[in-house]
Structure 1
Amino acid sequence: MNAQTFDFAEDSTVEMWLARRLPFDTKTIEEKSACARLRAMLKRLGHSESEILSGVYTSLQGGRFDIENVLAYNIGMSSFAQAGRNGMHFRRIWGAPKVSPSGNRFEHHHAYQLVASPAKPANGVNLELELSCIDDVARVWWAVSGTSAANIAAGVRLPVAGRFALHVEVGMPQKKRLHNAIKKLLDGIVAALHSEPAPSAEAVDRLARYLSLPVSDVVRRLSDPAVAVLGERSGLVRPYRNFVQWHPEDDRCDSITVIACGSPGSCSVTVTELGETR
């Protein structure tokens, strides 16, 4: 492996250094090889009943991307099945990566380890609800967007305009695995925290048919959700192929924690403002 393109370290922490941010579907042959090596290292982390998997991405480079995509989805979610069984925490650090074991400097760095589950934040906006489905973006959106805040901490100003942290505690339904559900769960939650001032008529029609709901109910929920914590988002949902595609501002999220706990279907969502961190 070219040391100028990648570098690795493996102990209680698995680390990877990269010359560029890892993409999903345009990987070079070298990047595919690096992903295969990282997946094998992640599987060797094992599993702890009392811990969750932490992934930290460090870089000074900006751009619009989802932190869970960079740290997990673009690598392959199956490699997180064991270490992330109880939960996963993904975090962005805006800084220069440390020097790699080979003595080289890279623009991007990943670090993974097992850590204790963090407590639910008390300084944000909290929603408590029940989900009938955790791996369907539209159904998660519908449930969360209709849920009023259980608590808004003193001093919190809405909508959250800057970068934010998301803490989710979810009860896993029988036969469901977190690594398979986490991306759709997060997309549905973050989409539900926006309002869409002028939703696409075609997208609304497709959602209404899919959810077996009146068009007027879907329009009302998109334009005026129970708590638009993240504010307005033009083009939040658009027609795509035979259904819809969601475009929430999850690229503003620098910290995501999802913990599998509680009774099946129970869900607690807490959003905390981080401000401008870059």
Structure 2
Amino acid sequence: MVNYFIPTQGPESWKAFLADPIKQWKKGYSAYELAHCWEVANNLPCCVDKVFKHSEFTLFHNVEVLFGFPEYKVPLPGGNSRSQNDLYVLAKADNELLPIMVEGKVSEPFGETVEIWLSKNPSEGKRKRLEFLLNLLGLHEDCVHNIRYQLLHRAASAVLEARNLNTHHSLMLVHSFSETGKWYEDYANFVRLFHLSPKRDGIVGPVELNEVNLYFGWVTGEKTETHDFPEENYKINNQKEKSAQRIELWSNKRLQFEPKGWMKQMKEDLRTNLKGITPIENGVLYCKFCTKEDHAVFDVENVLLYNVGSGSFSGISNNQVFMERTFEPSPFVDRSINLKHYHLYNYTTKDNISFYWKKDGTIFEWSGLQVSSLKYKPHEYWYNMKKLQTKKKYNSLIKDTNFGIRINIGIPVAKSVNLTAICKPLLDGVISAFHNYSGSDLDEMAMRLASILSIGKTEVANLLRDDQMAILGLKEVVRRFQRGVQWNPSDDSCYQIQLTTYKCNGPNWIIDGEVYLLRK
């Protein structure tokens, strides 16, 4: 039978997939903790992302989550019961699919040992299943009697899913929420069967099994907060009308990338409401942020989209997305509560949008930029923008001049895009191209970018210094970050962003656009 899956509507959706929701769905239990940790993550949970990026294996340095399947069942021979994995994450790493089977743990063990599971008189089905697992994992029965049976079929699930996808790598990952690392030794004993040295908060491997490179990982994460949060920290209003679906958020603090405490709960509630929006034909997403802290410096796309997580906007951001930072009083939610920050997410048709900012003259425009695929890193966009042929040298704007940007994306036939997923790298890369580099680390930056882009160091250095289109002036636009780079353009002065799309012929994506001045 074919499996079909539907999107979750927040962490609470995971509860329905449990064998016993009443007993298993509680704060401090693995199912609850895993759901709240993974569902609210922008891509990977911070603790997982940290372990991946510090791994000795480059395969895990740039992992992109494609889909997640809670309580994912993998059929095994020898009976009707299937291996029910807490979470199956289908990811992409090094342009290859990477299945990750995640087992959540707090204080519960990995089930009974193989010896106890078999019992003295095992059924034919159990014998058949164990034989299958041992053959698949390359193990001998006399070595596994004291091994937890759950670990065998979780590892097998990772291998089987990789084979189904015809991919070469897979990962069995234990996500522990136990501060003492409870049951780690059971996991470690299992990993040692493959002649590997297990690590806490680390990845080891691989072991080659049936042409699949299987890795093992153990990650320690924090439990969700267990105390109640004062209601006056934030308010959310969800309003559905015939012509528009509006989500409004008022908060005491500006939403951060890795929120803690009540802000983490606020983010989760906001995501749940956004996921409840129903897509409509020709629907567009208008997002607005205003704050009483008029002089605060931040990137509006981060506050409105990136810090929320692109998965929250899936299905409602494939046509047109508009963002504005405005300077106006926010609607009152409760006059007795002083909430400083306001988000508006209005999903409607374009003729129902009233923009705060008006265009006041084009500063720079470009056309004809083509890429084979949309990237999730800024450097590709920066490089392609810098390679554009401009007919004249453009003057720099006066420092701290506010501007808007419109980017129009031509989508090849049979392709689609979640604009909120590519928004940050696209904007960072494009806007960075409007600077010329002014830092003292030019040689190192050129070397690192040359390695990333697979081009010559001299060419990169020349492009960094090039001022032909440097309308935003001199800046240390790129910096060292771990073993790579981090982009730092002046997009905090960009108060209006328009991302639009159209269908185009040919295999390439086309990126046209303009930068313009603003007036109220």
TM-score for the superposition, normalised by structure 2: 0.48
**Matching residue within 7, 12, 23 for 2:256:** 23
Q: Give the match for residue 273 of structure 1.
A: 517
Contact 2:409 2:510 in 1 (8 A): yes
2-side partners of 1:175 and 1:181: how far apart?
A: 12
1-side partners of 2:496 and 2:478: how far apart?
A: 23
Question: What is the DSSP-based 3-state SS (H/G/I as helix, E as strand, rest coil) of the residue aligned with 2:446?
Answer: helix
1-side partners of 2:314 and 2:513: how far apart?
A: 22
2-side partners of 1:41 and 1:134: how far apart?
A: 28
2-side partners of 1:92 and 1:209: how far apart?
A: 36
* Aligned pairs (5 A) from 1:12-161: 12-25=245-258, 27-61=259-293, 62-101=295-334, 104-114=337-347, 115-116=349-350, 123-124=361-362, 125-132=364-371, 133-135=373-375, 136-148=377-389, 158-161=395-398
Q: Which deviations, in whole Å up to 9, do the C-alpha atoms of 1:113-145 show, x marking residues without a partner?
A: 124189x96831211132324323111101112
Deviation at 1:268, TM superposition (A): 1.1
2-side partners of 1:31 and 1:98: how far apart?
A: 21
Q: Give the match for residue 231 of structure 1.
A: 473
Q: Give the match for residue 167 of structure 1.
A: 406
Deviation at 1:259, TM superposition (A): 1.4
Deviation at 1:81, TM superposition (A): 1.2
2-side partners of 1:97 and 1:60: how far apart?
A: 9
Q: How large is the Cα RMSD of the aligned pairs?
A: 2.7
Contact 1:121 1:270 in 2 (8 A): no
Task: From the superposition, tell whether residues 269 and 150 of structure 1 become closer, same or farther in structure 2 (CA, over 3 Å).
Answer: farther
2-side partners of 1:20 and 1:270: how far apart?
A: 33
Deviation at 1:183, TM superposition (A): 1.3
Which of structure 1's runs of 4+ aligned residues deviate more than 6 A? none
1-side partners of 2:359 and 2:512: how far apart?
A: 11
Deviation at 1:204, TM superposition (A): 0.5
Task: Structure 2: give runs of 5+ residues left out of the alignment.
Answer: 1-228, 240-244
Question: What is the DSSP-based 3-state SS (H/G/I as helix, E as strand, rest coil) of the residue aligned with 1:4?
Answer: helix
Contact 1:131 1:267 in 2 (8 A): yes
Deviation at 1:176, TM superposition (A): 4.7
- Which residue identity does 1:3 align to in structure 2? E
Q: Which deviations, in whole Å up to 9, do the C-alpha atoms of 1:169-189 show, x marking residues without a partner?
A: 112463653232221111111
**Which stretch shifts more, 135-144 or 266-275?**
266-275
Question: What is the DSSP-based 3-state SS (H/G/I as helix, E as strand, rest coil) of the residue aligned with 1:229?
Answer: coil
Contact 1:134 1:184 in 2 (8 A): no
Q: Give the match for residue 235 of structure 2.
A: 7
Contact 2:360 2:518 in 1 (8 A): no
**Matching residue within 439, 453, 462 for 1:211:** 453
Question: What is the DSSP-based 3-state SS (H/G/I as helix, E as strand, rest coil) of the residue aligned with 2:232?
Answer: coil
Deviation at 1:85, TM superposition (A): 1.7
Quick check: 1:255 aligned with 2:496?
yes
Q: Give the match for residue 220 of structure 1.
A: 462
Quick check: 1:240 aligned with 2:240?
no
Q: Which has the higher contact order (CA 8 A, sep 6+)?
A: 1
2-side partners of 1:95 and 1:16: how far apart?
A: 15
- Which residue identity does 1:266 align to in structure 2? I
Larger radius of gyration: 2
Question: What is the DSSP-based 3-state SS (H/G/I as helix, E as strand, rest coil) of the residue aligned with 1:82?
Answer: coil
Q: Which deviations, in whole Å up to 9, do the C-alpha atoms of 1:42-95 show, x marking residues without a partner?
A: 122222331321110011313221101101111111001111121211110123
Contact 1:147 1:226 in 2 (8 A): no
Q: Which deviations, in whole Å up to 9, do the C-alpha atoms of 1:237-277 show, x marking residues without a partner?
A: 122111111111111111111113242411112111237x8
**Matching residue within 416, 435, 443 for 1:194:** 435
Deviation at 1:102, TM superposition (A): 6.8
Contact 2:305 2:420 in 1 (8 A): no
Question: What is the DSSP-based 3-state SS (H/G/I as helix, E as strand, rest coil) of the residue aligned with 2:270?
Answer: helix
2-side partners of 1:96 and 1:182: how far apart?
A: 27
2-side partners of 1:186 and 1:150: how far apart?
A: 23
2-side partners of 1:215 and 1:221: how far apart?
A: 10
Contact 1:131 1:140 in 2 (8 A): no
Task: From the superposition, tell whether residues 109 and 151 of structure 1 become closer, same or farther in structure 2 (CA, over 3 Å).
Answer: farther
- Which residue identity does 2:370 align to in structure 1? L
1-side partners of 2:491 and 2:271: how far apart?
A: 25
Question: What is the DSSP-based 3-state SS (H/G/I as helix, E as strand, rest coil) of the residue aligned with 2:406?
Answer: strand
**Which stretch shifts more, 192-201 or 75-84?**
192-201
Contact 1:14 1:112 in 2 (8 A): yes
Aligned length: 270
Contact 2:306 2:420 in 1 (8 A): no
Question: What is the DSSP-based 3-state SS (H/G/I as helix, E as strand, rest coil) of the residue aligned with 1:220?
Answer: helix
- Which residue identity does 2:459 align to in structure 1? D
Task: From the superposition, tell whether residues 40 and 102 of structure 1 become closer, same or farther in structure 2 (CA, over 3 Å).
Answer: farther
Task: From the superposition, tell whether residues 196 and 42 of structure 1 become closer, same or farther in structure 2 (CA, over 3 Å).
Answer: same
- Which residue identity does 1:189 align to in structure 2? V
1-side partners of 2:446 and 2:291: how far apart?
A: 38
Question: What is the DSSP-based 3-state SS (H/G/I as helix, E as strand, rest coil) of the residue aligned with 2:267?
Answer: helix
- Which residue identity does 2:424 align to in structure 1? K
